[in-house]
Amino acid sequence: MLQPSSQTKVRLLEVDDLKVHFPIRAGLLNRTVGHVKAVDGVSFHINAGETLGLVGESGCGKSTTTRALLRVSEPSGGTINYRQPNGAIIDLIKASDDDMIPIYRDMRVVFQDPQASLNPRMRVIDIIGEVLRVNHIMTSGAALEERVAELLQKVGLRPEAMWRFPHAFSGGERQRVSIARALAPNPRFVIADEAVSALDVSVRAQIINLLQDLQSELGLTYLFVSHDLSVVRHICDRVAVMYVGRIVETAPVDSLFERPRHPYTEALLSAVPIADPAVKGRSRRIRLPGDVADPANVPTGCAFHPRCRFATDRCRTEVPTLNPTASPDHQSACHYADSLELRGAFDLQ
């Protein structure tokens, strides 16, 4: 059950041992010969009002995890406990289609590419208005126009923009429309799935600032999915690092950046650019050998061991579990989390 933490924080979402396995079929009889373990035992929680960053390389299972939360990809196991507005807890995996209808009003998504996620044949008033109509919030008329105008102003666009088509906007403006659409039914929880990665660097800061302002104003809770740790550092309260369908480290954002407790996290942090001329010419990057492991054929023991410079025989045979380190709020799935001296994002030694 979801319980308030010791600091009276209320858990809005708690995921426990989530699995999403896709069958591999072959032969004339189309028999299942294996499984792609896209998500394999993921556990995390998100407190109301905070932002959790979910990070990792492409193919590590981030987007599959978010699709499982929304039941777009059907989970193979685990629990997804969600606290509804009335305080009741519902397991989204066991929820019926009717049970999910109010959840979809309360849990919304901002997608990566607004060019692809906005219907080019619909005006903005129809794109946002469709959400209001489907959820029976309002159907048409002046009230709908007034609500759409209010949402556009909230995301920094002029009300008359509602009469334009998506192609008339810049990339950053289209993403603002996407955010307005997500906010239409007054949700509490927003999943931002690579919401700024398709934007120009000059526009990213504006969208990040907008998301933070909306969070403060509306009390939103975010799951911020990204591969860009420099963005994550500015918007997230806590971070969960994924590798081949598993979470290998979770920590408050400052703790993670200052002292990572997993070699994979250290390698990701070494790629974060630092705007300091003194750093020029000094190599910080940890280049990992090989490629990300195949989720259909995960290595024995720790999935990261073929690429880890600290790997031992124990790493090759024993699967590490996500356990607290010397810092209780910092967890790592590494056998040697407290003994390795790993570099933080700004440690140049």
75-89, 143-157, 263-277, 321-335: least confidently modelled range: 263-277
- Residue 44 CA to residue 304 CA, distance in Å, equals 20
197 pLDDT exceeds 70? yes
**Share above pLDDT 90 across residues of the chain, in percent, rounded to a whole number:** 74
- Residue 238 CA to residue 308 CA, distance in Å, equals 24
To the nearest whole number, what is the mean pLDDT of the chain?
90
Render pLDDT for 90-101 as a digit per residue (tens, 0 to 9): 999 999 999 999
157 pLDDT exceeds 60? yes
Provide the CA 141 distance to its chain's centre, in angstroms: 36
DSSP state of 18: E
47 pLDDT exceeds 60? yes
Mean pLDDT of the region 286-302: 89
Task: For residue 117, report the phi and psi dihedrals to the nearest 5 degrees.
Answer: -90, -10
Structure-token pair, residue 137: 């919030």
* Residue 128: other Cβ atoms inside 10 A: 25
- Residue 238 CA to residue 256 CA, distance in Å, equals 9
Mean pLDDT of the region 167-188: 95
Predicted local distance difference test score (pLDDT) of residue 3: 46
80 pLDDT exceeds 90? yes
- Residue 69 CA to residue 63 CA, distance in Å, equals 10
DSSP string of 228-263?
Answer: -HHHHHHH-SEEEEEETTEEEEEEEHHHHHHS-SSH
Structure-token pair, residue 277: 């001329």
Contact 214, 224 (CB under 8 A): no
- E strands in 1-72: 11-26, 31-47, 51-55
- Residue ranges of alpha helices (H) inside the chain are 62-69, 97-106, 114-117, 124-134, 142-154, 171-183, 201-218, 229-235, 253-258, 263-270, 313-317
What dihedral do alpha carbons 35, 38, 44, 49 form, nearest 10°?
Answer: -140
Structure-token pair, residue 12: 């809005």
- Residue 4 CA to residue 21 CA, distance in Å, equals 31
Residues 6+ apart with CB under 8 A from 233: 253, 257, 272, 345
Mean pLDDT of the region 77-99: 95
Render pLDDT for 264-293 as a digit per residue (tens, 0 to 9): 999 999 888 766 656 555 557 888 888 888
Helices (H) and strands (E) in the chain, counts: 11, 12
Predicted local distance difference test score (pLDDT) of residue 102: 94
| Rounded (5°) CA angle 22-244-296 | 40
Structure-token pair, residue 47: 């407190």
336 pLDDT exceeds 80? yes
DSSP state of 308: -
Contact 182, 111 (CB under 8 A): no
Minimal CA–CA distance to 55: which of 275, 299, 230?
230
Residues 6+ apart with CB under 8 A from 68: 18, 20, 39, 74, 75, 80
Minimal CA–CA distance to 14: which of 74, 67, 72, 90?
90
Predicted local distance difference test score (pLDDT) of residue 348: 42
Predicted local distance difference test score (pLDDT) of residue 1: 44
